[in-house]
Structure 1
Amino acid sequence: MTPKKVAAFAIGPIGGALLGLISLPIITWFFSQEDVGRMAMLQVAIGFSTLFFSLGLDQSYVREFHEVTDKPSLLKRALLPGLILLVTTLLTLVMFGGALASWLFEIPEWHLSLLASTALLAAFISRFLSLVLRMNEQGLAYSMSQLLPKLLLLAVIGTYVVIGAEKSLTNLVIANTSALICVCIIFAYNTRREWLASVTASLDIQHLKHMLRFGLPLILGGIAFWGLTAIDKVFLRTLASFEELGLYSVAVSFAAAATILQSVFSTVWAPTVYKWASKGEGLENVHKVSRYILALVVLAFCLAGLLSWVVTFVLPPKYDAVRWIVVSCLGFPLLYTLSETTVVGIGISRRTGFAMLAALSSFAINLVGNWFLIPHYGAAGAAVSTCISFWVFFVLRTEFSIYLWKSMPRLLLYAFTLACVSGAAVFTLWGETLRGLMAAYWVLLLCAAAYSFRGEIRDASVFALQRGRAASVRRG
């Protein structure tokens, strides 16, 4: 993938994260904390339904894409079974009136169930249509399809504020559902040739069975990873309150800015490392890349610990606790990104069962952590449990990769990440009491990282200086 194509795919995640940081404060000022928490449950349902009802055929589509000539027929085989199953399920739930809304929002209203069903359906279809753009390397169209719905959500919320619309859950669900419908329409337009051709394409049942044999086993691992990232919200809804869930979802949304690093890196890294593997060269760079990402992870944790008070300027006073919770919420995007540099042995050896085992083990730890911490600490407990679970996830992926492939230096990896996670946990649970000590801790950790990664800092500085001089020469 060329740098130009990488940049095209990166526009979506970067722009989406920035637009999310703009729209989030507006939502927290305009809607109640409970309704913000209820919307988090809708996002949990969207994530689970997209994963479960896809039947693993989205992964099969990616796997088979370059090996078949009839791409529209492949799309039909991938999309149709799950779509039929999802529509049947949603119609059944809607027949029971407000059952779906009662489970998600504890408000048994039929119109909320209908809106939620529409959102689930739009998100599911968008998942498969987005794969068409990705596999055809239409990066700009893919990114625009991510950005425009964010802009629409911002526009709808802004309109609510201007006209003084009712600050109700219904209006909030309408805004989010409208955005999802918009992205589905945009994806449908950008992929119209593919899906229109798939309508009349033949349905090869034998090949569909082959795709299901590949995709269905992946659902277990997918559900385990979904649980690792979403079970905290389910526990907060059950063991705490929608207010705590709203507080937590806002902290997670701010921490999601770190997914910019995750999205951009993942787009570049996977194709690069497998290209190295196919040629049997360049794999010595894996450790070098992991050191650079580790340096960025430590820097992000330290800066978040020192500057998290900034969020209080854009949020209502009732969200003051976000400043403490957000640091632990960084564990998911940052540690997951770092694990992508150390897990390459599992992919190269094709022993994906070990990746599933890492996810299942971490999911189990998160279950136990949420069960014990949420009743005592609420949203803070959920954040700490998830952060610790992702550190275990990172360690397991690294150790399994080493077992299957080859050894790599990891003392520095474990030492710095453990220091970050431990500091984040203490900061989240007791940071308000230990303000001065925690500030000193983050400064000392930052200084230790600067010393340990002085070579990487020097090389990065030289590279940036050379690129700057080259750019000056071209302009001159």
Structure 2
Amino acid sequence: MAHAQRLGKDIAIYGSSEFIFKFIAFAAFPFYAHHFSVADFGLWALLSVSATLLGYFANLGVNQAVQRFYFDDFSDDVGTAVIVSTGLAQIFVSSIAVVTLAIAVCVLFAKATLAGYGISQLLLVLAIANVIPDQLLQYCLDVLRMQFTPLRFALLAFAKNVLGTALALVLVIRFDAGLPGLFLGVVFGTTMAVPLGLWLIHRDLGWKLHLPLTRSLFAFGFPLTFGSVAHWIYTSIDRWMIADLSSSLELGLFSVAAKYATIVSFVIAAFAQAWTPFAIRLFRDDPEHSTLYGKVFALWFFVLSFVGLGIALFSREALMLFTPADFWPAAIMLPVMASGMVLYGTIPVSSLGIILSKRTTLGTIGTCLAALINFVLNLWLIRQYGAMGAALATLITYGLLALYYLVWNQRLHPIALEGRKLVYCLLIVGITAALPLVDLGALTARAFMIKIGVAALVLLGAFATGILNRSMFEPRSLRSLL
């Protein structure tokens, strides 16, 4: 019980901070929807996923390596300050190098990107430039999680997610600056937050490099880069493939649906922020960790499934209330995309076996297989079904990848799976994915009551299967999370 309470506190403190501020940034979407066209959202998506890919090369797995070694015992001359400072230096140098090279390439191919995709050189440079401050801020957030300093973490999460969005909104709405204004605001906002991040982690900054440690961090993290690139392929390459194989309208609608589906990813990030360090520490300190892992896995899977179902049920209402009519067709893809995200969200728990055994190459193999499968599925399904084909490809890929991690986890560090509960969660995912086949209507009292009824039945099923119980909602249990 004590471990469960500690995990709950960690999720409430670290996860909710990141979730709340990311959701505030997400809330800007309706404002953008009234200033951008559907095609503009497609361009935004292409630039964003491209910047994400560059970020993986800039990071080189350093964040994960520092997290892995942060609690280990080294020699007297290698403490946490040396570990953090060495990792920070690596990220700063590699980010500068990657961004400089990427901008040079963009200058050479500026005419081709403008003619082929309508992306100007200014937009490319702004999107790429944000990689440096974004990587530094994410590194600082990860260090603050290791330090278990909730107020500092919340402050930096606010600066990282809200400042850039606020500036972007001013430039887009007040000055009608369009997509360049959006990216310019984000660049300024994240850059302004970097000094704050460095100050907040100052207790672990010794400003001293340790070359042998650099090699250790690189050896652990570099193989993860290939996995990160493969991860980018199966999560992001579909945007580029839709742009090439379908139309700008389909790309825009897919990007809008993906934007709403990111609500599930916010929940995943909130959980993962607290879960990973907690799970590693539990593995070290508690011989009964396998049982708790199993209970967390079942409860977490249900939470994800219920969130995904809620998003899918009310996707049309959300789009009709907050966006112009041109955006509404994106609702048909949202249930499929949300279902895929739910399956993907189980990986933070099911990947523990690979992390704890330090067999990171297995993660790389899994993500590479997922990338290949996703590419082939997109090539086939986008030609036939357009953006919906890409959504189906993502759902299948995420399901297979989740299964891959679970199988390896049970081979390396088995957890006590609770089969009946997991089957029930899979049933919810199946219902969610099938919702595009059922027309429940939208913005009518009858449709609203039907959807509320479906959600209520799913909750009752969670109590019937034992996933939820009354003790979880007793005042004493709730106070333990505060």
Pairing of 1:43-58 with structure 2 (within 5 A): 43-58=48-63
Aligned to 2:108: 96
Measured after TM superposition, the shift of residue 153 of structure 1 is: 4.2
Please give the alpha-carbon distance, in whole angstroms, between the structure 2 residues aligned to 1:112 and 1:421: 38
Matched, 1:214 2:220: yes
Measured after TM superposition, the shift of residue 244 of structure 1 is: 2.3
Matched, 1:186 2:196: yes
Matched, 1:232 2:238: yes
* Per-residue Cα deviation, 1:244-301 (whole angstroms, up to 9, x for no partner): 2222222222222223431232233333433343231242233222222233233234
Aligned to 1:40: 45
SS in 2 for 1:321: helix
Pairing of 1:139-178 with structure 2 (within 5 A): 139-160=150-171, 163=174, 165-166=175-176, 168-178=178-188
Once superposed, what is the RMSD of the aligned Cα atoms? 3.6
Residues 156 and 193 in structure 2, CA contact (< 8 A), matched pair in contact too: yes
Please give the alpha-carbon distance, in whole angstroms, between the structure 2 residues aligned to 1:255 and 1:454: 28
Inter-CA distance 55–293: structure 2 relative to 1 (3 Å threshold): closer
Deviates more, 1:51-60 or 1:401-410: 401-410
Compute the TM-score of the two structures, normalised by the length of structure 1: 0.83
Please give the alpha-carbon distance, in whole angstroms, between the structure 1 residues aligned to 2:439 and 2:478: 46
Inter-CA distance 346–206: structure 2 relative to 1 (3 Å threshold): closer
Residues 329 and 383 in structure 1, CA contact (< 8 A), matched pair in contact too: yes
Specify which of 327, 336, 347 is matched with residue 328 of structure 1.
Answer: 336
Please give the alpha-carbon distance, in whole angstroms, between the structure 2 residues aligned to 1:100 and 1:385: 28
Aligned to 2:133: 122
Inter-CA distance 296–212: structure 2 relative to 1 (3 Å threshold): closer
Aligned to 1:375: 383
Matched, 1:307 2:319: no
Deviates more, 1:145-154 or 1:448-457: 448-457
Matched, 1:107 2:110: no
Amino acid at match of 2:132: L
* Per-residue Cα deviation, 1:410-442 (whole angstroms, up to 9, x for no partner): 7546644554454444434x45599999x9899
Please give the alpha-carbon distance, in whole angstroms, between the structure 2 residues aligned to 1:82 and 1:161: 32
In the alignment of these two chains, the number of paired residues is 463
Aligned to 2:3: none
* Per-residue Cα deviation, 1:105-140 (whole angstroms, up to 9, x for no partner): 53343x334323322232233333333433333333
Gaps of 5+ in 1: none
Please give the alpha-carbon distance, in whole angstroms, between the structure 2 residues aligned to 1:423 and 1:392: 18
Matched, 1:337 2:345: yes
Matched, 1:258 2:258: no
Specify which of 340, 361, 371 is matched with residue 369 of structure 2.
Answer: 361
Please give the alpha-carbon distance, in whole angstroms, between the structure 1 residues aligned to 2:185 and 2:303: 35
Specify which of 20, 23, 28 is matched with residue 23 of structure 1.
Answer: 28
Aligned to 2:254: 248
* Per-residue Cα deviation, 1:186-218 (whole angstroms, up to 9, x for no partner): 3244346766x63xx4x4444433332222212
Amino acid at match of 2:192: C
Deviates more, 1:339-348 or 1:246-255: 339-348
Please give the alpha-carbon distance, in whole angstroms, between the structure 2 residues aligned to 1:410 and 1:50: 37
Matched, 1:465 2:474: yes
Measured after TM superposition, the shift of residue 28 of structure 1 is: 1.0
Deviates more, 1:99-108 or 1:340-349: 99-108
Measured after TM superposition, the shift of residue 320 of structure 1 is: 0.8
* Per-residue Cα deviation, 1:6-51 (whole angstroms, up to 9, x for no partner): 5432243221233134201111111122222111122212211111
